[in-house]
């Protein structure tokens, strides 16, 4: 089988190692896997792809899979927002041409909720095998490689908040099948506002056990399971690892939670701030440290607690590029509704030592090998590949610039501190105006991300809200 697979296009072109491909074929056969979901994360961090049978796996490992390139060009309503039929030279993937999915065989992941099936994450390339710069996994790998040229690695942690609701009305009438569809009506699974309360955890444990065991069966190393602040809100945390592994885990976990909850009769949501009475906001706190190539943590302060040059530069870079980075950490219209004072979410740019109100919470102490920075600006709807890439590029730029971090904020909601963007529109403008991101990502990627998110922003601006109807309908 190894020699047979080696004759395929992917192995000949060096896109896949024949030994790894043969090992996967043997494992699929041994474990009785019938179907394999070949998936990739789109620009929004949503998994898309094709399912092949065991019989079709050999062909996928030899030649890859082709899917329409428009899957990279859709907004969250699933509309293609690029003029693919025009002859404009700056239109990516004109004519709805194909792209190539190359299985990342090391991500093979059997599904406990569908034991006959497994997921495999894929690289997305042009059909000639060349890279597409704005593909999320490619962009993150580029940031990792850029940091490595300076002799450093990033270590990231994953803790993510989400909510689980019970559907009351599924919104499956034909009139509900709009783009996007009408959301279903739901009710909570607990009353909430009893943060880390034992009895609330015990009541939710049957469902949380299913999710925890499913995550662990998929190779996702769960560290803690928590009842969060709001009604029907929970948090899972995972062991720290390299950024690409963390991003893979994030999209796999988010997808698994939604799929398992649906099978159990629930609806899981990672939306930043649901429009539901008493619903809390969902944050994704990105824990990050920087090591040398031997794994020595470069953020550990000296005995006097003074920041190292690397820590100071990393913090300074994250702050300097905070507004422009929001297109990745807070990529939806809704996410900016989470930025509110005194809600344990930041609304201003600054850092503090173990301060949960600050954008950056510095958790660093002499001799502490886990010294790190926690960026609390991101929400659970972020594309993890983009969010982590932007952390790396921002922090690295701060180190290279050599500018020390500013003084920490005593009051993270101080009116004197610079504000984070108030809207997605502000974030898009800040991103487009960033010379650092234009240099680091290239014009094609900047144009791609800005156009994709502007389509969402403009649809929002054109929608007539309930506020407008109440304000003007009877007044004029």
Query: What pLDDT, on the 0 to 100 scale, is given for residue 90?
Result: 55
Other beta carbons within 10 angstroms of residue 116's beta carbon come to 12
Q: How far apart are CA 73 and CA 92, in angstroms?
A: 8
Asked whether the beta carbons of 109 and 28 are under 8 A apart, the reply is no
Query: What pLDDT, on the 0 to 100 scale, is given for residue 328?
Result: 98
Query: What pLDDT, on the 0 to 100 scale, is given for residue 457?
Result: 97
Give domain limits for the chain: 1-80+97-132, 142-174+186-471
3-state secondary structure of 56: helix
Q: What is the DSSP string of 91-145?
A: -TTGGG-EEEEEE-GGG-EEETTEEEEEEEEEEEE-TTS-B-TTSHHHHHHHHHH
Consecutive 10-residue averages of pLDDT for the chain (476 residues): 94 96 97 98 97 97 96 94 74 83 97 97 96 97 98 96 96 92 93 89 95 97 94 96 98 98 97 93 95 97 91 97 98 94 86 91 95 96 98 98 90 87 98 98 96 96 94 94
Q: Name the fold adopted by 1-80+97-132.
A: Ubiquitin-like (UB roll) (3.10.20)
Q: How far apart are CA 24 and CA 57, in angstroms?
A: 9
Query: What pLDDT, on the 0 to 100 scale, is given for residue 340?
Result: 82
3-state secondary structure of 337: helix
CATH number of 142-174+186-471: 3.30.590.10
Query: Is 0.75 surpassed by the pTM of this model?
Result: yes
Query: What pLDDT, on the 0 to 100 scale, is given for residue 341?
Result: 79
Exposed e or buried b per residue across 157-166, where buried means at least 16 C-beta atoms within 10 angstroms of its C-beta: bbbbbbbbbe
Lookup: tokens for 120 = 């495999």
Q: Mind listing the pLDDT tens digit for each residue in 164-210? A: 999 999 999 999 999 999 999 999 999 888 888 999 999 999 999 99
Q: Is 223 left (phi over 0), alpha (psi -120 to 50) or beta?
A: alpha
Q: How far apart are CA 232 and CA 166, in angstroms?
A: 10
3-state secondary structure of 159: strand
Q: Mind listing the pLDDT tens digit for each residue in 292-325? A: 999 999 999 988 889 999 999 999 999 999 999 9
3-state secondary structure of 175: helix
Q: How far apart are CA 455 and CA 447, in angstroms?
A: 12
Maximum Cα–Cα distance across the chain: 77
Asked whether the beta carbons of 394 and 431 are under 8 A apart, the reply is no
Query: What pLDDT, on the 0 to 100 scale, is given for residue 355?
Result: 87
Query: What pLDDT, on the 0 to 100 scale, is given for residue 195?
Result: 87
């Amino acid at each position: 089988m190894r020699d047979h697979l080696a004759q395929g296009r992917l192995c000949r072109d060096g896109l896949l190692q024949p030994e790894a491909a043969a090992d996967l074929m043997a494992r699929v056969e041994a474990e009785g896997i019938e179907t394999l979901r070949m998936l990739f994360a789109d620009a929004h961090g949503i998994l898309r792809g094709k399912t092949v049978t065991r019989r079709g796996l050999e062909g996928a490992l030899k030649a890859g899979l082709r899917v329409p390139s428009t899957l990279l060009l859709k907004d969250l309503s699933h509309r293609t927002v690029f003029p693919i039929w025009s002859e404009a030279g700056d239109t990516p993937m004109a004519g709805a041409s194909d792209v190539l999915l190359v299985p990342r065989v090391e991500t093979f992941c059997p599904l406990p909720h569908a034991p006959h099936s497994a997921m495999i994450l894929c690289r997305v390339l042009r059909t000639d095998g060349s890279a597409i710069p704005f593909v999320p996994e490619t962009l993150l790998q580029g940031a990792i490689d850029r940091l490595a040229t300076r002799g450093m690695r990033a270590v990231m942690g994953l803790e993510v908040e989400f909510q689980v609701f019970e559907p009351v009305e599924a919104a499956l009438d034909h009139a509900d099948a709009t783009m996007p569809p009408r959301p279903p009506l739901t009710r909570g699974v607990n009353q909430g506002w009893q943060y880390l309360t034992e009895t609330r955890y015990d009541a939710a444990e049957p469902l949380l056990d299913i999710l925890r065991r499913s995550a662990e069966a998929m190779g996702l190393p769960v560290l803690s399971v928590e009842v969060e602040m709001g009604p029907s809100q929970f948090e899972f945390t995972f062991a720290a690892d390299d950024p690409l592994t963390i991003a893979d885990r994030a999209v796999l976990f988010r997808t698994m939670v939604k799929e398992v909850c649906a099978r159990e009769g629930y609806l899981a949501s990672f939306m930043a701030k649901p429009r539901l009475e008493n619903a809390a906001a969902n944050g994704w706190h990105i824990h990050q440290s920087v090591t040398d190539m031997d794994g020595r943590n470069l953020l550990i302060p000296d005995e006097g607690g003074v920041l190292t040059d690397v820590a100071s530069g990393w913090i300074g870079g994250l702050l300097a590029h905070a507004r422009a980075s929001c297109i990745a950490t807070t990529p939806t219209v809704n996410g900016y509704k989470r930025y509110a004072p005194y809600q344990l979410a930041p609304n201003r740019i600054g850092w503090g030592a173990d301060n949960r109100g600050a954008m950056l919470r510095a958790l660093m102490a002499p001799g502490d090998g886990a010294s790190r920075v926690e960026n609390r600006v991101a929400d659970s709807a972020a594309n993890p590949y983009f969010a982590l890439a932007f952390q790396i590029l921002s922090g690295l730029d701060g180190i290279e610039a050599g500018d020390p971090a500013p003084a920490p904020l005593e009051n993270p909601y101080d009116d004197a501190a610079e504000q984070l963007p108030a809207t997605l529109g502000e974030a898009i403008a800040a991103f487009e105006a960033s010379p650092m991101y234009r240099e680091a990502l290239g014009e094609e990627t900047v144009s791609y991300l800005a156009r994709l998110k502007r389509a969402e922003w403009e649809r929002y601006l054109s929608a007539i809200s309930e506020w407008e109807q109440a304000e003007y309908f009877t007044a004029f």
